[in-house]
Amino acid sequence: MEGYLVAMATFAALYALLALGLNLVWGMTGMINLGLVGFYAVGAYVSALLTKKAGWPMAAGVLAGMLLAAMAGAALALVTARLRGDYLAIITLGFSEVVRLVASNEIWLTNGTDGISGIPGPWRGQVTPATFNLIYLGLAGVAVAAVYLAMQRVRHSPYGRVLRAIRDDDQVAAVAGKPVIAFKVEAFAVSAAVLGLAGALYGHYTSYIAPEGFVPLISIYIVLALTAGGTGSNTGAVVGAFLVVFFLESTRFVTAALPGLKPVQVAAVREFLIGASLIVVLRVRPAGLVPERLPRHVPPAAPATGAAR
């Protein structure tokens, strides 16, 4: 039971990283990413391959995974930067499918649908599995804390203010002299790097990755996490990730208790509930549980001259 809770907490931390990454583009900049699982996969595969096949140290593999995910993100953002957001929605969704296609078919590199096993993990083999899991939970927690603090810093900085301006009206931001396209591409690349980080950490944690671990449903989990937590709020992203993991696990127990269902029907009911809950949250509480509170600039006490504004 304890092992189960530790594993769930680790997954929640990985989802929190994904939700924080998504929040930077969708919450703060207003750019959509419906294929975030594609960047997650890029991070996972790059780091797994470099550490397992090329013998790179894990830290270097993780960084390389982040870098490649960031480059892919920058490229997609650049192509669609001048177009309506709909194009980014289409292209990111397409990107994640193509990543999965490549992972399934470049068997010489990725071992196809069989996946890659035996990915190294920190101190794996030197400590008991239970200790490894605890160490990894600690690592994932540190990663979440670091990314959370960095994202809070972005949010409260002038940089974050520009991102919000772009989200609310990119033409006004452009008129104010901000290089909107550069900001959009940067934000998307940084966000993709965070998604890549989560993916790399996932691979080193489970020691096994396969294309079926990167299905579009994962993107929905994370959009659900961020929407339920509070789009635009970093705290909301983290809270939402934990809620989603809790929800996913409870659906596992609830559906297992349903009598007379075939396994495929149980799986269908779970996926149905996840999709339906995102729709319900969007309808009922679009601001989320921890709604975004705009950092207020407190103006110096105005001289009370009574001058009408």
Partner 1 sequence: MSEVAQLLVNGLVAGTILAVPAIGFTAIYAVLRFPNFTVASHATIGAFAGYVANTAGGLPAWAAVGVAFVVAGAAGVVNDEIVLKPLRPAGALTAAIAAVALTIVLENVVRFVWGNDLRGYDLPIRRDWQWAGLRIGPQQVENLAIAVLAMAALFLFLAFTRTGKAMRAVADNPMLAGIKGINADMVGRLVNFVGMGLAGIGGMLLGLDTSIDPLTGFRVILSVFAAAVVGGLGSIPGAVVGALTIGVAEELSLLSLAPAYRTAVGFAAILVVLTLRPRGLLGERAY
Can you give the binding site for partner 1, defined by CB under 8 A?
30, 32, 34, 79-80, 82-87, 89-91, 93-95, 97-98, 101-102, 104-105, 216-217, 219-220, 223-224, 227, 262, 264-265, 267-269, 271-272, 274-276, 278-279, 282-283, 286
Q: How far is the CB of 213 from partner 1 (least distance, A)?
A: 17
Q: Are 222 and 68 in contact (CB under 8 A)?
A: no
Measured distance CA(269)–CA(276) in Å, rounded: 10
CB-nearer residue toward partner 1: 42 or 140: 42
Closer residue to partner 1 in complex, CB, 121/232: 232
Q: Name the token pair of 217.
A: 């449903």
Q: Which is nearer to partner 1, 5 or 109 (CB)?
A: 109
DSSP code, position 214: G
N-to-C CA span, the chain:
63
Residue 75 CB, shortest distance to partner 1, in Å, is 8
Closer by beta carbon to partner 1, 201 or else 223: 223
For partner 1, the closer of residues 107 and 130 by Cβ is 107
The token pair at 307 is: 């001058």
DSSP symbols for 41-63: HHHHHHHHHHHHTS---HHHHHH
181-187 long-range contacts, CB within 8 A, separation 24+: 181/78, 181/81, 181/82, 183/29, 184/29, 184/31, 184/77, 184/81, 185/74, 185/77, 185/78, 185/81, 186/74, 187/24, 187/25, 187/28, 187/29, 187/31, 187/77, 187/163
Residue 258 beta carbon to partner 1: minimum distance, rounded to whole angstroms: 11
Nearer of residues 5 and 168 to partner 1, judged by Cβ:
168
Smallest gap from Cβ 26 to partner 1, in A, equals 8
Q: At its nearest, how many Å lie between partner 1 and the CB of residue 98?
A: 5
Q: Is 70 left (phi over 0), alpha (psi -120 to 50) or beta?
A: alpha
Shortest CB 89 distance to partner 1, Å: 5
Q: How far is the CB of 81 from partner 1 (least distance, A)?
A: 10
Residue 26 or 202: the one with the smaller Cβ distance to partner 1 is: 26
Residue 124 forms beta bridges with which residues?
A: 127
